Amino acid sequence: MAEPTFLGMPVEVRLVIYDMYLMKHQRVRQKCQPANDHLKLLRTCRQIYEEARPIFWRYVSLRNELEINAFILNASDAMAARILWADVANDGRVFKPLERISKQEVIPSPLSNLHLALRRMPSLQRLRVSRCNFCCPGSGSGAPRLALEFEFAMYPSATAPRLSAYEIFMDAESRVQPFQVISPRSVEKLRLSGEVRLPPSVEAPALRQVTLHSITGNHFDRNNIESSFPGACLESFLYAQGHRLGFELRNRHLESVVALSGSRLRTLVLLGCSRLSSACIASCLEQLPLLEIFALSLVTVDELRTNFLLSLPLTVSVLKVHVVNAWYAVPLRVEERGLLDALENSIMVREKPPKRTTLNFREQLLLEDGRKERLMELAQLHDIDLCIKPWENDCEHAI
């Protein structure tokens, strides 16, 4: 019997594999924007080229000015029209005249050619923006002044496509001004990072998923989540401080997430939280009857009085927990031990335990009285995929 080959599979199976290959390629790893390596597969043979091309041409990544210019020069109109998802590196700088010549508004002139590339993508639905690490040189003396205009550098004509996903992967120090041009009304998935300067409120009725990562602006210090996105109905909320000067999530923010979700929240990820009280976490968990994924990395400072794991909804199928004290705080070993007791005696033995559980606790507490071995035995007995290891660094993409 001949060995099975890739081209010997049914074409329907190959199409699914192409789609999965592209999805895996699109992931951001170690904060690096993906390249266009997926297109190399099209050179394998003519049959794969014809089958995979309609799928692979849905996505393009433009990491610097060289790739932007190459796309403008070489991509056909047919290829550009197929693009639904783009990863782009935004320089953010635009030319502005030193003096206004007339009362009419002057259209900003971007330093980068990125706007020319985006103008060729009429079907674009998902836009992911990263920092441009290979930028154009600035202007010399006597030239128009340069200004930072985050979205006008991409859409200087103030006209942008209706996006379903808008994700910003900028450094914490980079100034970001979302929704200068792009309308928030159609956005379902939003990721913010950097020194964010949002409008006072963002009308986003379609918004279902929000990720706040390494936010250094003061918008969320002055506003809660509910007032920032009125009318939204969240199903997923992910937060990570991500930077030592990043915005710190407080009780009022978490409570506003629950209020905004209308009990529809299914995913709640909270990383690097040191301003949340254990009582607030427990109270919010009790108000989320549909929660399926819960990940919490908690840095304790002076309290851990409420065992919030006892408030975990029965619907949770993925659970990730990490508890550690701040370097200047006294370790709360008794309270941490109580959390492990709740996992061992309540969460893992209930009728519907979380099927995927990842823990990162103090090694001393895991080793005492053979607790680690007991947890592994319980996991095997109740068919739980249990991992005891650090998990926080790539939680946003691993969940």
Q: Say if residues 247 and 198 touch (Cβ distance below 8 Å).
A: no
In sequence order, what are the residues at sequence separation of 6 or more whose Cβ sits closer than 8 angstroms to the Cβ of residue 60? 36, 71, 75, 83, 85, 86, 87, 121
> What confidence score (pLDDT) does residue 141 get?
46
Angle 307-263-272 from CA coordinates, rounded to 5°: 45
Q: Note the pLDDT of residue 98.
A: 59
Q: Record the tokens describing residue 106, joined without a space.
A: 């002057």
Which two structure tokens, joined as six digits, stand for 89? 């590196």
Q: Give, in order, the Cα–Cα distances in Å from 60 to each of 118, 126, 127.
A: 11, 11, 10
Beta carbons of 170 and 129 less than 8 angstroms apart: yes
- Beta strand pairing status for 145-148 and 93-96? antiparallel
Query: Domain spans of the chain?
Result: 294-399
Pairwise CA distance, residues 7 & 223, whole Å: 55
Give, in order, the Cα–Cα distances in Å from 145 to each of 127, 140, 141, 201: 28, 9, 9, 30
Q: How far apart are CA 93 and CA 112, in angstroms?
A: 8
Structure-token pair, residue 226: 């509910």
Task: List the chain pLDDT tens, one digit each, 399 residues.
Answer: 557 788 888 899 999 999 999 888 888 876 788 888 888 888 999 999 999 999 999 999 999 999 999 999 999 999 999 999 999 999 889 987 655 555 556 677 899 999 999 999 999 999 999 988 765 665 544 456 788 899 999 999 989 999 999 999 998 889 999 999 999 999 999 999 999 999 888 999 999 999 999 999 899 999 999 999 999 999 999 999 988 889 999 999 999 999 999 789 999 999 999 999 999 999 999 999 999 999 999 999 999 999 999 999 999 999 999 999 999 999 999 999 999 999 999 999 999 999 999 999 999 999 999 999 999 999 999 999 999 999 987 666 544
Residue found by looking up tokens 């998802």 in the block: 85
Q: Which residue has the tokens 């794969």?
A: 48
